[in-house]
C-alpha cells in the first residue's frame, strides 16, 4: 500500500483557504498513491468555535473530499468539525473514489483545551479494511491511551491525525514509537506545522513507523511537504511470526 502524508500549516478557521491549499498539494501527489493522510481538523485548525466552523456531512468540505478522491483516484483521510443536530464531532473520514469508506469520531477529547465542553466524544472503535490492510483510525489525544488502541490481532496499521503542539513533541514521537512496537503494527502519523490562531506552534514530527518502531522515512520537523512510503506486508507478517508478542497480551474489555 502506497501512502502519502501531507505535513502542512493550516490557516486558522479558513476552510476555503485550506481546501484550496490541499487541492494544490493533491494535484502533485504521485501516481499509484493509494492513501493520502491530512492533519486533524485540516480545514480549520484545532478550533473550539464549533458553531462558526462546523459543517454537515452534506456540506462543502465533505463534498470536496469526495470530489478530490474521485478526481485523483485516491483515498483521502483527514478530520473535520462535523455537526449532527445540536452536537459537534471531531470526525476522521476516509473517503475514496466511490464514497465515504469509514468515519471515526474522536473518543478522547482534550480537556486541557476544553474540547470536551464543545464536542461530543465518539463511542465506536473503528477499523477500516482497505486493500488487504486493516487500519485503526485515531485522532491526536487518543495516542495517550494505549488501552483504546490495543491490537487484538484485529489491525495492521494505525492512523493518527493531529494538531499536537511543538511544546509536547517529545511525548508525541515517543508514544508513536511505543504504539508501533507494542501493537506490532505500522503507524501513520500526520501532524500539522505552523502557528494557530491561539499562537500555539506546531512542529509536525509526522512519521511512518514500521512494526519494530523504526522510521520508514525521515520527515523533517517544522517543514511543509508531502512524504511517501510503501508499506510492506511481508515485513509485518515476518515480524509477527518471529516474535508473536501479541499472543501473550492480557485480555480485557474496553467499555465505551
Average pLDDT estimate for 159-175: 98
Burial class (CB in 10 A: 0-12, 13-18, 19+), 221: middle
Residues 151 and 121 sit within 8 Å (Cβ to Cβ): no
Q: pLDDT at position 251, please? A: 87
C-alpha span between 201 and 84 (Å, rounded) = 30
Q: pLDDT at position 178, please? A: 98
Least confident of 34-38, 61-65, 209-213, 251-255: 251-255
The answer, yes or no, to whether residue 59 has pLDDT greater than 90, is yes
Is pTM beyond 0.85? Reply is yes
Average pLDDT estimate for 68-88: 98
Residues 41 and 80 sit within 8 Å (Cβ to Cβ): yes
For cell 473503528, name the residue.
126
pLDDT in tens, 93-106: 999 999 999 999 99
Residue 237, SS3 per DSSP: helix
Residue 139, SS3 per DSSP: strand
Q: Which domains are assigned to the chain? A: 2-245 (3.60.110.10)
pLDDT in tens, 6-33: 999 999 999 999 999 999 999 999 999 9
Q: 159 - beta bridge partners?
A: 137, 188
State percent of the chain over pLDDT 90.
Answer: 97
* Dihedral pair phi/psi, residue 141, rounded to 5°: -60, -20
Residues with catalytic function:
40, 106, 140
Q: What is the dihedral of CA 234, 238, 241, 243, to 10 degrees?
A: -140
The answer, yes or no, to whether residue 157 has pLDDT greater than 90, is yes
pLDDT in tens, 178-214: 999 999 999 999 999 999 999 999 999 999 999 999 9
C-alpha cell at 121: 466524544
Query: Residues 14-23, buried b or exposed e (16+ Cβ, 10 A)?
Result: bbeebbebbe
Residue 11, SS3 per DSSP: coil
Q: pLDDT at position 102, please? A: 98
pLDDT band per the 50, 70, 90 thresholds, residue 256: confident
**Helices and strands, counts by H and E, the chain:** 6, 13
The answer to whether the Cα torsion of 15, 126, 171, 211 is positive or negative is: negative
Q: pLDDT at position 253, please? A: 83
Q: What is the mean pLDDT of the chain?
A: 97
C-alpha span between 217 and 203 (Å, rounded) = 17
pLDDT band per the 50, 70, 90 thresholds, residue 252: confident
Average pLDDT estimate for 237-247: 96
Average pLDDT estimate for 147-162: 97
Amino acid at each position: 500500500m502506497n501512502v502519502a502524508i501531507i505535513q502542512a500549516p493550516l490557516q486558522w478557521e479558513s476552510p476555503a483557504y485550506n481546501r484550496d491549499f490541499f487541492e494544490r498539494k493533491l494535484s502533485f501527489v504521485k501516481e499509484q498513491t493509494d492513501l493520502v493522510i491530512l492533519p486533524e481538523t485540516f480545514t480549520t485548525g484545532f478550533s473550539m468555535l464549533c458553531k462558526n466552523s462546523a459543517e454537515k456531512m452534506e456540506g462543502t468540505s465533505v463534498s470536496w473530499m469526495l470530489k478530490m478522491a474521485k478526481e485523483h483516484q485516491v483515498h483521502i483521510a483527514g478530520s473535520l468539525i462535523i455537526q449532527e443536530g445540536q452536537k459537534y464531532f471531531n470526525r476522521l473520514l476516509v473517503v475514496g473514489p466511490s464514497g465515504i469508506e469509514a468515519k471515526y469520531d474522536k473518543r478522547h477529547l482534550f480537556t486541557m483545551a476544553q474540547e470536551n465542553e464543545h464536542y461530543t466524544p465518539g463511542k465506536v472503535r473503528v477499523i477500516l479494511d482497505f486493500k488487504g490492510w486493516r487500519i485503526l483510525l485515531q485522532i491526536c489525544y487518543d495516542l495517550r491511551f494505549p488501552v483504546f488502541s490495543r491490537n487484538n490481532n484485529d489491525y495492521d496499521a494505525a492512523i493518527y491525525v493531529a494538531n499536537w503542539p511543538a511544546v509536547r513533541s517529545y511525548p508525541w514521537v515517543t508514544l508513536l514509537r511505543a504504539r508501533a512496537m507494542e501493537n506490532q503494527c505500522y503507524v501513520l502519523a500526520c501532524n500539522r506545522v505552523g502557528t494557530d490562531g491561539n499562537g500555539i506552534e506546531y512542529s509536525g514530527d509526522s512519521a511512518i513507523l514500521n512494526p519494530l518502531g523504526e522510521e520508514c522515512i525521515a520527515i523533517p520537523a517544522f517543514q511543509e511537504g508531502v512524504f511517501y512510503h510503501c508499506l510492506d506486508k511481508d515485513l509485518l507478517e515476518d515480524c509477527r511470526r518471529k516474535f508473536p508478542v501479541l499472543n501473550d497480551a492480557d485480555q480485557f474489555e474496553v467499555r465505551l
